[in-house]
Structure 1
Amino acid sequence: MKTTPTAEAQPRHEDLTLRIDGRQPLSAEVVAAVGSVCDSAEDRAGQARIIVQVSGVPRTSWANELTVSLVSKWERALRRLERLPATTIAVADGDCGGLALDVLLATDYRIATGSVRLVVPVESGATWPGMALYRLAGYGANAAAIRRAVLYGTPVEAADALALQLVDELTDEVPRALSLAAERAGAVSGTELAIRRQLMFDASVTSFEDALGVHLAACDRALRRATTEVDA
């Protein structure tokens, strides 16, 4: 039975939930689900976290009806999720591949159960060359577990995923882990979170001289905000 991806809207003060089933093929519906949760997060100006629940791996011949246009829309939706002015916290369980792996790697904080395995799907005798490969390589293209996953589709086991920082923690107490992650994420939100995330992304590909002006602008913004809060 097909599982439809969902984006659940709660009241403004509550978290948003996005559920992604990696067993399902990419579709316009799943792109729309990611877009919907992004819309809701932006409407709340970063005042709600997004809890992303992922599991499952693609079935055989899952890419038969894909088009480059649809894949492009999916990658843009993931990039939007990755840049939101809101904290994104993923919970991964069991084997996670395809859509589930794509979304997991685009989140800020990743909680995984001990049964998790990260799987790059294989289609027509080769691993799927989507942007999950790009994100995996960012964590260490020379790491053996990542190299085997990218080249051969060998699952990244839970212990390796933790050691390579593909996930932030392994736990059998997901509700407690979610609560603690939410506490950690409470200090920074909204546009300021998005700015710091982008500064972090850019650091590995930007020289010190090129980065300095952007960081100074962010510092100036922070000082202005601090002055405003004191005056208030």
Structure 2
Amino acid sequence: MFPVRPAPHPHSVGIETRQALIAAATEVFLAQGFRAARVKDITDRAGARLSAINYHFGGKEGLYLAVLQHHAEIAVTRTPLPEFDAGQPLETRFRAFVRTMVFRMVDPANPSRIGSLMVREAINPTPALEVMFERFSRPQSEALFGLMREHFGPDASYDLLARASLSVVGQIMVYVALKPLVLKLRPDFYTRTDGLDELAEQVAIFSWAGLYALLQVEASRHES
């Protein structure tokens, strides 16, 4: 389990220490992962005592989950899932979803590091993965699954919806998980002012064409 102690009152002396520990732990967990990270490296970086981690978070596990939740909250607040007016075309809504995910997960100017943190967690999972999936990933998945179900129809199988959804998200997450390789192929991508807009447009166009092709394949299977 990953217990997290409640955050101290905003006006208490300990709030600055808590924030410093989260900031320091973010960098250490990103560089080393949860298991290899040493709490002393975190407290040294934060300028805090070792006992501060137990006091504020109940231990290393609690600190790790607090870091994940902190960055997830920033991402959700800064780039909320889009809300739509009734009657908006499916393609318009799909494009808006893709754009939100690109800016939520890839934007180097976004103070949230949730994309990189979740990639590390997925590669070498801890019990925190289940918590973060329910609180952060599931709402995104349900939104995308809803769009896919509308595209393929109410009788579409779960497997089809999952494959289609993962194909869309995979095009975005490669820019998070394989950043060093992206830089080899596109050295200026993360510093270009139009890089994210271009990526969102590319993923939307590429995916939309693929989704329609897949819809035709599924229709042919049912006819045969």
TM-score normalised to structure 2 length: 0.30
| Larger gyration radius, structure 1 or structure 2 | 2
Q: Which has the higher contact order (CA 8 A, sep 6+)?
A: 2
TM-score normalised to structure 1 length: 0.30
